[in-house]
């Protein structure tokens, strides 16, 4: 359960999973290259991201793969996607979380917004923390590659216990499969006829002063 590791030693750089600076620099250039595909007609603020993934041995995805993403804006504004989340969505939809949901395959993400340094927004920090609370964040400022840890950018992040959640889901699924559907009494259905509104059978009084057959009255 990688979510539990977000406590003490997760902030230490240089863990065995952290790639070297050259690799992180290459990752940044992959983000910069992806940036040209950004769809940002409203803000004109193009962002590219590159996510380095190292799935487990059983994964359907080859090892050390990079998934890129760009920001995709929307006229509703609220439906806009950030480059970081697009990169994660691409990686997850390609199957990098198979077959062991507890293993964190995400190593680092680089974010490029051109000359300006762009750090992940709050939504993306929470989104990425779901999968990789210790993710290495790579940006560039003043011509220098900058490396941070997601836990620095989002300390004490919100996490649900995935193991318990999955266990509960699995138990519920198992119960649903073993339960034989009981025969239930057919609920009584009201057969009452709707009350027919009374219709006056009286002929409308004919107007004395006009032969107009239209049912209009002039007062």
Which residues lie near Zn ion (CB under 5 A)?
82, 121, 124
Q: Secondary structure of the chain: what % helix, strand, coil (to 5)? A: 30, 15, 55
Active site residues: 84
CA distances from 207 to 100, 170, 210, 217 (A): 87, 78, 6, 9
Contact 35, 46 (CB under 8 A): yes
Residue nearest to Zn ion (CB): 82
- Taking phi over 0 as left and psi of -120 to 50 as alpha, with beta for the rest, 62 belongs to beta
Sheet holding 106-112, edge to edge: 65-70, 48-53, 106-112, 136-141, 144-149
CB of 49 to Zn ion, least distance (A): 9
Q: Considering beta carbons, is residue 27 or 82 the nearer one to Zn ion?
A: 82
Q: How far is the CB of 89 from Zn ion (least distance, A)?
A: 12
Question: Smaller CB distance to Zn ion: residue 24 or 86?
Answer: 86
Provide the minimum distance between the beta carbon of 111 and Zn ion in the complex, in angstroms, as a whole number.
9
């Amino acid at each position: 359960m990688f979510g539990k590791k977000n406590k003490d030693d997760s902030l230490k750089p240089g863990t065995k999973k952290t790639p070297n600076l050259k690799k992180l620099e290459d990752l940044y250039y992959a983000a910069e290259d992806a940036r040209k595909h950004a769809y940002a007609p409203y803000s004109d603020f193009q962002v590219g991201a590159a996510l380095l993934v190292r799935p487990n041995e059983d994964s359907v995805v080859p090892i050390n793969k990079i998934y890129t993403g760009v920001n995709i804006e929307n006229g509703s504004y609220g439906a806009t996607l950030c480059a970081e989340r697009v990169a994660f969505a691409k990686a997850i939809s390609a199957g990098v979380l198979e077959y062991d949901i507890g293993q964190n395959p995400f190593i680092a993400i680089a974010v490029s917004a051109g000359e300006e340094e762009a750090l992940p927004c709050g939504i993306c920090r929470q989104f990425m923390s779901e999968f990789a609370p210790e993710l290495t964040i790579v940006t560039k400022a003043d011509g220098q590659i900058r490396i941070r840890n997601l836990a620095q950018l989002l300390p004490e992040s919100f996490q649900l216990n995935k193991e318990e959640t999955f266990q509960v889901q699995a138990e519920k699924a198992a119960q649903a499969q073993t339960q034989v559907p009981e025969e239930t009494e057919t609920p009584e259905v009201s057969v009452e006829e709707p009350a027919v509104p009374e219709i006056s059978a009286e002929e409308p009084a004919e107007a004395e002063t006009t032969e107009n057959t239209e049912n209009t009255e002039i007062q």
